[in-house]
Amino acid sequence: MGQTNLRASLRKRHSQLKGQRDDLALRIEAVKRDMAKLDELEAELPKLDELIRASELLLKDNDPDFDPDENPPLKPWTHHIPVPFGQCGRRGLKVLKEANAAMSVRQVAQQVLREVGVDEPELETLRRVQNAIESSFRKFDGRTVESSGAYPKQWRSIVKRELKFDP
């Protein structure tokens, strides 16, 4: 190996080692910051355990057949539906554009879920998708979609104004 190649390899390795050291220093600082929060976080555990026991007591009082093991943990502030994040409204609008009749939000949600491969969704999943689609429709009401205004609302794309709402 020539001297030029050796120097280039050593410089590259030197840069890699410096980058690795800087990354390690940042990770150490993050751990130190987290360690400072450890006591505060550990103090929250008993409070959460108490709240969980209290909610189980209320649920068992309301429903004697309630089984806490059938209610899995759910991370807060995360995406819980099979439709990719930010796609519910767009996919719902696409369904309305392709529809041959005005549709309810539930019908649109079921079609969106079918398109992502969920033919028989759980009730909670369907509810979450409906909420996402309905909020998008309300946001764009009059601009890209129209509603019947009557309960239960039916929706249509504004490009398909010829579709009639059910009486």
**Residue 155: what are its φ and ψ, rounded to 5°?**
-125, 150
Percent of the chain with pLDDT over 70: 99
The string of pLDDT tens digits covering residues 74-117 is 778 777 788 988 899 999 999 999 999 999 999 999 999 999 99
Cα dist from 78 to 31, 81, 84, 146, 151, whole Å: 23, 9, 12, 30, 31
Residues 152 and 166 sit within 8 Å (Cβ to Cβ): no
Provide the CATH topology of domain 88-160.
Arc Repressor Mutant, subunit A (1.10.10)
Look at residue 161 in the predicted model and tell me its pLDDT. Answer: 86
Residues 95 and 103 sit within 8 Å (Cβ to Cβ): yes
Report residues of the chain scoring pLDDT below 50: none
**What is the per-residue burial (b if ≥16 Cβ within 10 Å, else e) of 66-90?**
eeeeeeeeeeeeeeebebeeeebbe
Look at residue 54 in the predicted model and tell me its pLDDT. Answer: 94
Look at residue 61 in the predicted model and tell me its pLDDT. Answer: 92
Q: In the chain, what are the domain boundaries?
A: 1-73, 88-160
Look at residue 136 in the predicted model and tell me its pLDDT. Answer: 94
